[in-house]
Each structure stands twice: as structure tokens, then as C-alpha cells.
Structure 1
């Protein structure tokens, strides 16, 4: 069927980025003004599921396959179409009905797409000159598979009436292995493949890299601290978070000379990872942890620190690295910084009974600007005359040395 070859999945990926930002703006609008006919929690579920499926999954799948240095197979094109349809199905069904039969069905289809991707990709990841990159990407894909245990467990737990702490922890299990596992490790693998695979640094960084990856798996314990578990669990979580942070900064120190020449968005992403690992240590302090888990803005801030600060800058750069878009990159970075600062600083100011004037309206304005930035990226990539010829055959080009669009 020739129509599959005419679909530009890159276009759909960036359309998904715009749609995702639009739904984020709707959520912010609903916190400021009444919007009849829409359920906030339904839109929130649609937004989060589409972020994972429609934006990050599609983008990472495309970029990972561009690094296999061979033409994309027909099965991969069908996989992308399958994932796109299931993601759009989740977006619509969650928006209209929340967690019901149709939305659960589309969520299950998306899980099947992740298994499909793992089966056809893991055997092909044999980049001899980039062992560290392969290690990170493989670990990311395994985290993607493991993350599915969370939503699969939810059905069993709900059917048996277990909707308490264990039910919430199943949700956190999925979020952790998606964000800290699949998204972050795979994005870092792509960065290493492109910029940090210098010969001398490969072996010296390996112990730190193994430690960072292995500590990511039990790092899930941090997400259970909200339920006030036994004290030894909090102590174990602190040790794991500390190991994760030390291994990260150990890698950065070993590759210090290579980091200086990195593009701006990549450096921002690495800085965001550094902030993330430090935040995880703080959360393990009981008083800080309980305050954090009881404050919605801090949780949202942590999620967006990973998605908007760590992962998305890598994706945007790797898709646009041949374009001269410094002003657009600075716009995106400024929006992320302001958004995260507002999310994190208001809870701190609240301790002193200080409120930022028009706080929700400010966040709404930034959300609208994220939509505009996404639209600008789409125009730069697909609507300029010099890119039309290049994007007309998005999957018939085998990129041997980089992943340019």
C-alpha cells in the first residue's frame, strides 16, 4: 500500500507538539476561567497520554531509527502509523469520556505499539563505534517495556478493589519508567551518539554510565515516599538518589572537555538533568518530601523539568540542527525557564504567605506562547521553500552520519 510512503511522520510529530501545547493551554485556561462542556481531569489525562504517545514516542522512534544507518523498514512505517492512530484515539477518547472502555482500548493499542517497537529495534542496535549510546538507548527501550506493567496492573487492581496507595504507586511506576527511563535515557543516548562518543571518553565513562543506568531502575522508590512508608525505605531512596546524582556528575566530569562545544539546546538539557538529580535527593528528606508531594505545582514542575527541560530540547535540536533558528531556540528556552521558575518558586513563597500576582494568568500566557513556538518550529521545518524538497520523502532517505531532517 503506497499511501504509507506518502505520510510525513515528521510533520505529524510536530503537529502533535502543537496539539500538546494547545491542550496544555486549555488546562491552564480552565484554572483561570470556567469552560463549560469540558472536564478538567479528562483533558489532563488526554494531555499526558498524548505527550507520551503523540509527541515523545513518535519523535524518539524516528530519531532512533535514523541512527541505525539503514533504510527504515516497512514494518517501522506501519508501527509509526499504528502509534499515531492509537495516540490520536487516546487524545479524543480521554477528552470526551476519561477512563472508559474506548480510552482504555486505545491505551492498550499504544502499549502494543511499544512492544512492537522494542521487538523490531533491539536486535538492530549494533553501532560498533558508539557502545555508550547503544547502552543508553537499549536501557531506555527496556524501561519503555517495563513501564507497561503499571497500566496493566491498574486494571487488575481496580477489578479487585485495590484503589488505595498501591493503585497510585502503579501510576507512578508507569510515569517513572516512561520519563526517567525511556524518555531520558533514550534522549541521552542520542546525544552521546551525535556529540559525546569521542574515543578516549568511551571506556573511562563506562563505570559511571552503568551506575547511572542501573540506579534509574530502583529510583522508582522515590515515587512511593508520598505514602509515608517505613523509615528504612526513605533512607534507601536517599542512597539511590545520591548514587544516581553522583554517577551523573561523574559522567559529566569525565566528558568535561567534550561538553564545551555542545549546541545550546543540548547544554540546556544536560543542565536540566543536573537539576533533576539534585531535586530527587531533596525529595528524600522526609520533611521536604511530604511538602513536595502535597504541593501540586512542585509535582507538575518536576514532570515538566524532565519533559520540557531534559527531553524536548534534545528532540527539537536533533530535528532542526541544520536550520539557523537561534532566536526561536532562545524563545523556547526562555519560556521553559520562566514556566519552571514560576512553578517552583510560588510554593516557596507560599511558606512566607506571599503570592505572585495573576499567577495562573501568567502560566496561561506562557502556555499560549508554547503553542506559538511549536507553530514556529513547524513553519521553519516544513513551510519554507528550501525544506520542501527534503521533506517530501521523509522515510526514503538513509542518513548515514547524522539525523538531520
Structure 2
């Protein structure tokens, strides 16, 4: 049997490391640290996206479609191959940045993700392949594969135009867009629809079809928001703006589908509160993206990196991670004490406030308050502390959720 709760604990372990690395980065501005800042940034970002979020999502998807169907040996081989690549990145990026070993392990991770996508798309039992949740998961996986074009392109870009070229940033923004706005969001939506389907709460086919095509169109068009920092032709602003509008209309349709079933949805009151918090964070994300389609706001956002950093952390910690907490807990893969979540959430709000504050102050050419970086670093400490507490609590919990071998 596969203990999926142990796999969840591995994902939590990566989340704990992400928090430690993020806090470590903030202490660079407080005390002298004999390390390369950019190298640690690379490690932090890779483990955040590919460790915590990727492992948590794929573990839940396996539980949804394969826990009773078997195929455990195939999944287990892909899972542990993925862990080798992640550990390799953790041990190489902080010390070498983009170099032979880190590039090798990150490339191997791409192949591992392709194997995982193939496994889910090919081996999912037939009875699931026509349901709404799988259509969303399927689209999410394809976007995950498409996002890898960005990393593949980086090698050629660095060899020709170099890391200082606009194409280098374009490749990174392409990757981040299809990770954040497609793979993560659509996978989370698919998981939520799965829970609804388990309770026979099924929206009308026409409503879902309209939502599905709008969200996909939004994903593709909103990519153009990521190129506005080069001040391109006006047509790109129109395309990006259309993508932002379609995102909003798609989620309005999503809420109209969800609202009639909200009270029937068998989530605990606490987990429903988490979903509401993530929903509010998502609304702000959509509003920020809509504003970024306007030339003045687009230039402002990309002229001051703190706004971009704050936005990425807002989506990662406020939308994606809060949803993961709720879904993992509902799946009984995670024990989530209320005090741990509120500690995490307060640390998230405090650090986000400080990051956006720095962006505003820099924009207005004002002075930061005394000991700003020290306060930010100390507030950041509570993120790995809450992640570590969550990991310890779950590691000490005896009950395990398992899945069959084939």
C-alpha cells in the first residue's frame, strides 16, 4: 500500500524548506551572510513550485482517481524519481546557481513531470474521464507541460542573447504564467469539482462548458499581460486586457455554478472559511491583473519589483496554499489545527503588507521606516515556524490514508 499521507508530509517538508529559504533571503538585508543571494532565490522558487505545490497537487490527484484502481507501482516509481530530482536541485542551486548539476536535475524534473502527466492522462480509469473534474485536471496537466517550453528555451537564450536580454525574462514569465494561472488554478478547480461530484452536485452541462472555454481562453490571452513591460504594440494591451476580462467573467460563471450547492457542500465550517479566504485573495488577484492591462499600471508594476514579488507571493501563499490546506485536510491527508493556520495567515498578511509597503515607498521616493528589513525578516520567521509545526503534527499523527498497488 502507498501511504499518501506520508507523501503529503514530504510535500509539507518542502513547504517548510521554502519558508526557511525565504526567511534566509530576508536576513541577507539584516546581517552579513556568506552566500550568493541569487543562488538561494533560484532554490527557493524551484522548491516552492516544484516541491510543495506540485507534490501536493499530484498526491491529491492520485487519491482522487487511483486510490482504488491500483497502478501504485508506476506512480511510486515516478514519485521517487521526482524526489531525486528535487533533492538534487536543493543541494545544487544554493551553491552553484544555474550550472551543470542544477540544470541536470531541473531537466530531469521536467521529464518526471512529463511521466506524471502521461500516467494521469493515460491510466485514469474510464469512468472518470468524462466528468467535469477530470476535464479541468486534464487541461491543467497540458498547461503544466506547455509551461516547460520556458525552461527549455532558457538554454538557447543564454547561449545566444544572454541572461540580460528581454527574451530571458520573457521565458521566465511564460513559465510562471502557465504555472500560476493555468496548472495551479485549473488543478485546484478540478479538485473542488471532484468533491462536488462525489456528492452528486453537478452543474448543468451548458454552464460548465461555457465556463471551461472562457477560463481556457483567459489563460491563453492573459499571457500577454506578461509582455507589457516592454511597452509593445497596442494590440498586446488589447489581448492582455481581454484575457483579464475573460478571467473575471469565467470566475463569475464559476461562482454562479457553485453558489446553489455551497450550503450542501460537505466541508467543515472551518475549511469553508479557508475557501472563502482563498476566494477573496483570488478576487484581488483578478483585479490586479485587470489593472495591469492598462499601460500606466503595467509600467508601474514592472518598474518596481516589489509589486511583482508581492503579487507572486499573494497568489502562491494566499490563493494556492490556502486552497491546498483546505483540500488536503478534506481529503484527510492533512491535520490542520486552527491555531497553526491563523499563525500562518497572520504571518502571510504581515509580510505581504510590508512587501507592498516597500513598493509604494520606493515608487513615491520616500524613506522606509527604521528597521524595515529587520521587521520583515522577523515576521517571515513565522511562516517556516507554522509550516514546521504543521509538518510535525502530521508526522506524529498515526492514521494514514493509503492507496492500492496494482
Q: Is the 8 A contact 1:132 1:192 kept in 2?
A: yes
Q: Is the 8 A contact 1:132 1:189 kept in 2?
A: yes
Q: Is the 8 A contact 2:16 2:387 kept in 1?
A: yes
User: What TM-score, normalized by structure 1, do the two folds share?
Assistant: 0.89
1:229 aligned partner: 232
Pair 1:54-2:51 in alignment: yes
1:401 aligned partner: none
Post-superposition shift, 1:350? 4.4
**Higher deviation after alignment, 90-99 or 121-130:** 121-130
Would the alpha carbon gap of residues 127 and 267 (structure 1) be closer, same or farther in structure 2, given more than 3 Å must change?
A: farther
Of residues 323, 326, 340, the one that matches 2:352 is: 340
Q: Is the 8 A contact 2:72 2:405 kept in 1?
A: no
Post-superposition shift, 1:247? 1.5
Distance (whole Å) between structure 1 residues aligned to residue 55 and residue 348 of structure 2: 22
Classify the secondary structure of the residue corresponding to 1:52.
helix
1:403 aligned partner: none
Distance (whole Å) between structure 2 residues aligned to residue 99 and residue 48 of structure 1: 13
Distance (whole Å) between structure 1 residues aligned to residue 28 and residue 316 of structure 2: 22
Distance (whole Å) between structure 2 residues aligned to residue 117 and residue 155 of structure 1: 24
Distance (whole Å) between structure 2 residues aligned to residue 301 and residue 148 of structure 1: 24
Pair 1:184-2:185 in alignment: yes
Pair 1:172-2:173 in alignment: yes
Pair 1:238-2:241 in alignment: yes
Deviations 1:162-205 (A, max 9, x none): 54112210111111111111112112211221247722455424
Of residues 278, 283, 296, the one that matches 2:292 is: 283
- Unaligned stretches of 5+ residues in structure 2: none
Distance (whole Å) between structure 2 residues aligned to residue 342 and residue 201 of structure 1: 44
Post-superposition shift, 1:257? 3.2
2:386 aligned partner: 373
Distance (whole Å) between structure 1 residues aligned to residue 370 and residue 246 of structure 2: 39
Give the 5 Å matches for 1:88-107: 88-107=87-106
User: What TM-score, normalized by structure 2, do the two folds share?
Assistant: 0.89
Classify the secondary structure of the residue corresponding to 1:255.
helix
Classify the secondary structure of the residue corresponding to 2:29.
helix
Classify the secondary structure of the residue corresponding to 1:207.
helix
Would the alpha carbon gap of residues 378 and 201 (structure 1) be closer, same or farther in structure 2, given more than 3 Å must change?
A: farther
Give the 5 Å matches for 1:6-405: 8-36=6-34, 38-69=35-66, 70-125=69-124, 126=126, 128=128, 131-161=131-161, 163=163, 164-195=165-196, 198-201=201-204, 203-259=206-262, 263-321=272-330, 322=332, 323=335, 325-352=337-364, 353=366, 355-383=368-396, 387-388=397-398, 390-391=399-400, 394-396=402-404
Paired residues, number: 390
Distance (whole Å) between structure 1 residues aligned to residue 389 and residue 291 of structure 2: 37
Distance (whole Å) between structure 2 residues aligned to residue 330 and residue 207 of structure 1: 36
Distance (whole Å) between structure 2 residues aligned to residue 210 and residue 248 of structure 1: 12
Classify the secondary structure of the residue corresponding to 2:381.
helix
Q: Is the 8 A contact 1:127 1:134 kept in 2?
A: no
Distance (whole Å) between structure 1 residues aligned to residue 187 and residue 230 of structure 2: 30
Would the alpha carbon gap of residues 134 and 98 (structure 1) be closer, same or farther in structure 2, given more than 3 Å must change?
A: same
Deviations 1:44-97 (A, max 9, x none): 001101112221111111011000042352111111111111011111111011
**Higher deviation after alignment, 268-277 or 369-378:** 268-277
Classify the secondary structure of the residue corresponding to 1:77.
helix
Distance (whole Å) between structure 2 residues aligned to residue 65 and residue 149 of structure 1: 25
Classify the secondary structure of the residue corresponding to 2:65.
coil
Post-superposition shift, 1:16? 1.1
Would the alpha carbon gap of residues 257 and 343 (structure 1) be closer, same or farther in structure 2, given more than 3 Å must change?
A: farther
Q: Is the 8 A contact 1:54 1:88 kept in 2?
A: no
Distance (whole Å) between structure 1 residues aligned to residue 9 and residue 75 of structure 2: 16
Post-superposition shift, 1:154? 1.0
- Unaligned stretches of 5+ residues in structure 1: 399-405
Q: Is the 8 A contact 1:13 1:55 kept in 2?
A: yes
Distance (whole Å) between structure 1 residues aligned to residue 31 and residue 36 of structure 2: 13
